[in-house]
Amino acid sequence: MSQTMLTESDTLVELTMSQAINRALVEALEGAEPIVHLGQDLGAYGGTFGVTRGLWERFGPEVIRDGPLCESATVGFGIGLAISGVRAIVEIEFFDFVGVCMDQIYNQAAKLHYLSGGRLQVPLLLRTPIAARLGGGPQHSQSLEAWFMHIPGIKIVMPSNAQDAYDLLRTALADRNPVLYIENVRLYGRRQMVDVSSPPRPFGQARTARQGEHVTVVALSALVDEALKAAATLAERGISIEVIDPCTIAPLDLDTILDSLRRTQHLVVAHDGHKTAGFGAELAALCSEHAFDYLDAPVERVAALDVPIPSGPSLNDVYPDADSIIRGVERTLGLANAL
């Protein structure tokens, strides 16, 4: 065997999702393209959740730059770098903090390519974590992806495992216009064998995490694991669940979802965001438009309650889980014991 050929042990590496993200960032920063990563506590501290640990020591403070406690300024600075030819990566410490810099994101970054008649490109990657279920309270626990589905000009990535996190981040780091890359703190420590020789994964390709016959469950981010748990429990009762992970919600691979729905004729959508006007509402509308004749029951939305996220003992009552998905499946199938 040639010494230049990679063996399986070279290409398959056990990584946590956090390590997979870190590895993809390192590979990009080692490339020829000029890149600057901005954000709070990115430097010697290594990021609030440790995802960027080691980057500051490796690439220096001119590349890994601590920003001020002002997200609008940091994102604005990132946009300026991007349109001047330097790829910018901006970490927003908690997803909840996007409200501070929304104008920079939806009025500037998402629109400059169009406003300039295509002359400007905005290679801006916004990294931000969902910190649901950690007890951070109403200002540090929200899943706000639905806000950005309403904004043309920005892509939205939501990986649920280390392999997809690695593959999709490399795709995001090659895109010439804005990408919102949403991580989930609950998933940072999940381990998986990652094929580091795999090609970057194109946006707009859903993943079928489990095949089934009776109900399609579309789940986002950490809810994919909950959906798989629900599917395993329901399988013991003879109910076969197909679990689909969209991976990106803009662009959305609607074809894969509709193909599954035409076979199962039942749909449950699960996500950590609030129920009203969430991703589930949009997907229900799309499926009603494109596959209404195949629906044997209304689309079931399994989501966080429409209340501010608490930080006390009632936290688990607000978010959906495997049991919530099971009840959604029971409702859509019209089972007698459904709640």
Which residues have a catalytic role annotated? 71, 140
The amino acid that residue 45 corresponds to is Y
Hey, is 6 helix, strand or coil?
Answer: coil
Peptide bond into 61 cis (omega under 30): no
Please tell me the distance from the alpha carbon of residue 118 to that of residue 116, in angstroms, as a whole number.
5
> Left if phi > 0, otherwise alpha if psi is -120 to 50, otherwise beta: which for 85?
left
Please tell me the distance from the alpha carbon of residue 223 to that of residue 212, in angstroms, as a whole number.
17
Hey, is 109 helix, strand or coil?
Answer: helix
CB contact set of 336 (below 8 Å; sequence gap of 6+) = none
Residues 121, 83: contact at Cβ < 8 Å?
yes
Q: Hey, how many other C-beta atoms are within 10 angstroms of the C-beta on 300? A: 23
Secondary structure element (H or E) that encloses residue 113, with its range: helix 112-115
Residues 71, 97: contact at Cβ < 8 Å?
yes
Residues 165, 20: contact at Cβ < 8 Å?
yes
Residue 67 φ/ψ, nearest 5 degrees: -100, 170
Among 165, 212, 217, smallest CA distance to 192 is for 165
CB contact set of 222 (below 8 Å; sequence gap of 6+) = 130, 132, 160, 184, 186, 187, 272
Hey, is 12 helix, strand or coil?
Answer: strand
User: In Å, what is the CA distance from 139 to each residue of 72, 80, 93, 102, 130?
Assistant: 17, 28, 12, 16, 11
